[in-house]
């Protein structure tokens, strides 16, 4: 019986928390009730000031203002003999008949809850004002109501005495009215002062209560941390470690509350897990002969571990055999892939040498062009772009710059077809437009057998320039690719025909031929669209043809090898980390 009594009166966590909340609730209720009482009193006083005293003061001041305006207007009535200005006369009548009665009625309604002495003062003021207005109306306004009355000395002098009397009367009214306004303002100030005194008391009380709650909270937090929070944090840390598969080294100190009971249970669980962990480590390291004794016949985890050990031993034997077999297969497949990659790479490199043999040689260009550069940058090893040159006759040298359909291997194959078609056309033609016309026919004829229903539509965009340096002329024809001539600060553009050298709905229309006079120092540029269509820069946009033309015009005065360096650096900087999207060809020739 003694042991049971000791357990019944144990100072548990629930009782600790309950006592703390009870103290907090009591203090909060006291503060709440006192706040409600103070706020209700402040509300009543505020309503009194807002709904009664303040409007009363406002109306009294407005009546004072009406008196001032009536005083001004009666003075004008007496001294202003002109009837051209009737505005002040109408305003005075309106004050007496309408404005004053309205304010009077409103004040009488507000004054119902006034002090009786203040009500008596208000009624005296009203009687004085009304007597003053009667004096205005009967002795001044009705006497001086026509221009003839102002001209009659007798009438004008009869109105003088009432006018002077009204001056004295209104001063007396001002005095009484200002005294009443002052009384009401003092009442309002007293109400506000009383209200703020209540609020100040509430503020001090709440501050004192807040300080008490803070001090109490600190004390409660201190004892709670020692008896609840710290043990719970240790429990949490141990459980989190176990959740991660780590058996903690810490142990919970025993105590006579719920946390102590949980700590003891957790300590026992950790000890029992150590033996299980040791067995798992041995098994995981491949020691399938390690001994393990389950905690009891009902220890499902222990018996499952023994069964797992047997399964792992068998699986390891099977996996070792499979790894050996798969490793041999991977090595064999890797060797095959490496051989295929080498064959493809060798084929592409050989194709690149073949394609380059079709391009204009450096020796041919050096013999016929004194000052030039070639900026040729394929997207892949082989290219759809190409540049072709041929000596037509003694005085004429042909240079073609072309962009074949596609790039990479398909583009390179198409470029060889286009070059051979150009060579075939040059055998019988020496004018750029006829060369392109004939080349187009040859390409269409050769691609008719591509297996499609309507024949291949592949071909190229191409510009052909025939140089005659002796006569200082060039003859040009262009398909989709422009030709630019920079002459000093001027850039001349030879616009191309908007059709390719290949099958097209305009394939029966001849290419346009231009004959251009050239001057010493001119720089002629022929190009494909790879540079201008390249994405890059900070915004990842196209370089654009306009920007490229401005770049060439700006640097045309430089030596040709320096111009090429500028183009290479600009293109590299523009592309940045992006991928080159097309083959790039740009050739510059200085006259």
Q: Per residue in 217-229, pLDDT tens?
A: 787 767 666 667 7
The tens digit of pLDDT for each residue in 465-510 reads: 999 999 999 999 999 999 999 999 999 999 999 999 999 999 999 9
CA atoms within a 13 Å half-sphere pointing along the CA-CB vector of 286:
3
List beta partners, residue 402.
386, 462
Q: What percentage of the chain has pLDDT greater than the value 70? A: 85
The tens digit of pLDDT for each residue in 291-328 reads: 767 766 667 776 677 777 677 777 777 887 788 888 78
Cα(189)–Cα(554) distance, rounded to whole angstroms?
Answer: 83
Q: Which of 94-103, 208-217, 341-350, 404-413 has the lowest mean pLDDT?
A: 341-350
Residue 396: pLDDT band by 50, 70, 90 thresholds?
Answer: very high
pLDDT at 386: 95
Higher per-residue confidence, 49 vs 293: 293
Please determine, for residue 455, whether its predicted confidence score (pLDDT) is greater than 70. no
The tens digit of pLDDT for each residue in 321-356 reads: 788 888 788 888 887 777 776 766 666 766 667 878
Residue 2: pLDDT band by 50, 70, 90 thresholds?
Answer: very low
What value does the mean pLDDT of the chain take? 85
pLDDT at 5: 46
Task: Name the H helices within 447-559.
Answer: 545-555
Please determine, for residue 42, whether its predicted confidence score (pLDDT) is greater than 90. no
Structure tokens at 273: 């897990």
Q: Which of 71-85, 129-143, 310-324, 385-399 has the lowest mean pLDDT?
A: 310-324
Task: For residue 154, give Cα distances in angstroms to 81, 127, 134, 150.
Answer: 15, 30, 21, 9
Name the range with the highest mean pLDDT among 113-127, 307-321, 566-580. 566-580
Structure tokens at 545: 């043809």
pLDDT at 450: 66
| Contact between 463 and 478 (Cβ < 8 Å) | yes
Higher per-residue confidence, 580 vs 309: 580
DSSP state of 578: S
pLDDT at 3: 47
Which of 140, 69, 138 lies closest to 103 in space, CA to CA? 69
Higher per-residue confidence, 25 vs 438: 438
Residue 461: pLDDT band by 50, 70, 90 thresholds?
Answer: very high
Name the range with the highest mean pLDDT among 223-232, 250-259, 427-436, 440-449. 427-436
Greatest CA separation for the chain: 145
| Contact between 534 and 544 (Cβ < 8 Å) | no
How many helices (H) and strands (E) the chain has is answered by 17, 13
Please determine, for residue 122, whether its predicted confidence score (pLDDT) is greater than 60. yes
Please determine, for residue 383, whether its predicted confidence score (pLDDT) is greater than 50. yes
The domains of the chain are located at 8-216, 251-358, 360-590
Task: For residue 479, give Cα distances in angstroms to 124, 429, 529.
Answer: 109, 17, 12
Q: pTM here?
A: 0.48
Pairing assessment for the beta strands 490-494 and 501-502 based on DSSP bridges: unpaired
Please determine, for residue 518, whether its predicted confidence score (pLDDT) is greater than 80. yes
pLDDT at 232: 75
Higher per-residue confidence, 83 vs 515: 515
Higher per-residue confidence, 325 vs 582: 582
Cα(397)–Cα(395) distance, rounded to whole angstroms?
Answer: 7
Cα(202)–Cα(30) distance, rounded to whole angstroms?
Answer: 11
At which residue do the structure tokens 């900070």 appear? 538
Backbone angles phi, psi at 250, to 5 degrees: -70, 160
pLDDT at 113: 86
pLDDT at 14: 64
Name the range with the highest mean pLDDT among 73-87, 443-457, 481-495. 481-495
Homologous superfamily in CATH for domain 360-590:
PPM-type phosphatase domain (3.60.40.10)
pLDDT at 45: 60
Residue 6: pLDDT band by 50, 70, 90 thresholds?
Answer: very low
Please determine, for residue 20, whether its predicted confidence score (pLDDT) is greater than 70. no
Q: Which of 80-94, 99-113, 315-329, 494-508 has the lowest mean pLDDT?
A: 315-329
| Average pLDDT value for residue range 568-589 | 96
Residue 59: exposure state from Cβ atoms within 10 A (0-12, 13-18, ≥19): buried
pLDDT at 7: 47
Please determine, for residue 571, whether its predicted confidence score (pLDDT) is greater than 90. yes
Q: Which of 3-7, 130-134, 350-354, 489-493 has the lowest mean pLDDT?
A: 3-7
Q: For 277-312, b where at least 16 C-beta lie within 10 A, e where not — what string?
A: eebbebbeeeeeeeebebeeeeeeebeebeeebeee
| Contact between 280 and 305 (Cβ < 8 Å) | yes
Please determine, for residue 49, whether its predicted confidence score (pLDDT) is greater than 80. no
Q: What angle do CA 27, 28, 32 make, to 5 degrees?
A: 120
pLDDT at 407: 77
Please determine, for residue 33, whether its predicted confidence score (pLDDT) is greater than 60. yes
DSSP track, 164-194: HHHHHHHHHHHHHHHHHHHHHHHHHHHHHHH
DSSP state of 247: -
């Amino acid at each position: 019986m003694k042991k049971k009594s000791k357990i019944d009166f144990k100072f548990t966590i629930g009782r600790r928390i309950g006592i703390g909340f009870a103290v907090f609730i009591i203090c909060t209720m006291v503060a709440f009730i006192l706040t409600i009482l103070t706020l209700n009193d402040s509300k009543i006083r505020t309503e009194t000031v807002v709904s009664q005293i303040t409007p009363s003061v406002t109306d009294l001041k407005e009546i004072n203002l009406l008196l001032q305006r009536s005083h001004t207007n009666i003075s004008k009535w007496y001294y202003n003999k002109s009837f051209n200005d009737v505005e002040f006369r109408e305003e005075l009548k309106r004050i007496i008949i309408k404005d004053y009665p309205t304010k009077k009625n409103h004040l009488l309604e507000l004054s119902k809850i006034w002090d009786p002495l203040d009500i008596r003062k208000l009624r005296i003021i009203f009687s004085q004002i009304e007597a003053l207005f009667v004096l205005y109306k009967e002795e001044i306004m009705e006497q001086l109501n026509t221009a003839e009355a102002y001209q009659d000395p007798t009438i004008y002098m009869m109105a003088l005495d009432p006018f002077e009397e009204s001056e004295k009367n209104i001063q007396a009214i001002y005095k009484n009215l200002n005294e009443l306004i002052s009384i009401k303002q003092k009442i309002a100030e007293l109400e506000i002062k009383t209200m703020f005194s209540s609020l100040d008391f509430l503020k001090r009380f709440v501050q004192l209560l807040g300080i008490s709650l803070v001090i109490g909270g600190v004390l409660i937090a201190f004892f709670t941390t020692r008896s609840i929070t710290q043990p719970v944090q240790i429990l949490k840390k141990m459980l989190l470690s176990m959740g991660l598969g780590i058996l903690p080294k810490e142990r919970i100190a025993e105590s006579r509350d719920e946390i102590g009971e949980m700590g003891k249970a957790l300590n026992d669980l950790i000890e029992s897990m150590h033996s299980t962990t040791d067995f798992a480590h041995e098994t995981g390291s491949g020691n399938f002969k390690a001994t393990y004794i389950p905690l009891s016949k009902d220890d499902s985890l222990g018996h499952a571990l023994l069964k797992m050990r047997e399964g792992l031993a068998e699986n390891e034997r099977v996996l070792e055999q499979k790894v050996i077999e798969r490793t041999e297969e991977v090595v064999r497949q890797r060797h095959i892939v490496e051989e295929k990659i080498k064959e493809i790479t060798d084929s592409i490199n050989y194709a690149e040498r073949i394609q380059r043999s079709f391009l204009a040689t450096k020796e041919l260009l050096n013999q016929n062009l004194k000052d030039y550069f070639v900026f040729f940058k394929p997207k892949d090893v082989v290219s759809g772009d190409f540049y072709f040159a041929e000596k037509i006759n003694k005085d004429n040298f042909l240079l073609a710059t072309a962009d074949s359909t596609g790039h990479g291997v398909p583009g390179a194959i198409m470029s060889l077809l286009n070059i051979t078609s150009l060579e075939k056309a040059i055998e019988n033609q020496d004018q750029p437009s006829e060369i392109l016309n004939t080349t187009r026919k040859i390409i269409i004829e050769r691609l008719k057998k591509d297996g499609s229903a309507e024949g291949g539509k592949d071909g190229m965009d191409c510009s052909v320039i025939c140089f005659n340096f002796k006569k200082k002329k060039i003859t040009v024809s262009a398909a989709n690719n422009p030709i630019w001539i920079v002459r000093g600060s001027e850039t001349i553009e030879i616009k191309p025909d908007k059709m390719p050298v290949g099958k097209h709905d305009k394939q029966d229309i001849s290419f346009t031929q231009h004959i251009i006079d050239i001057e010493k120092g001119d720089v002629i540029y022929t190009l494909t669209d790879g540079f201008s269509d390249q994405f890059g820069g900070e915004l990842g946009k196209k370089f654009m043809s306009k920007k490229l033309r401005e770049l060439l015009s700006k640097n045309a005065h430089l030596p040709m090898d320096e111009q090429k360096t500028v183009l290479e650096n600009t293109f590299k900087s523009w592309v940045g980390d992006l991928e080159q999207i097309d083959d790039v060809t740009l050739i510059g020739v200085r006259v």
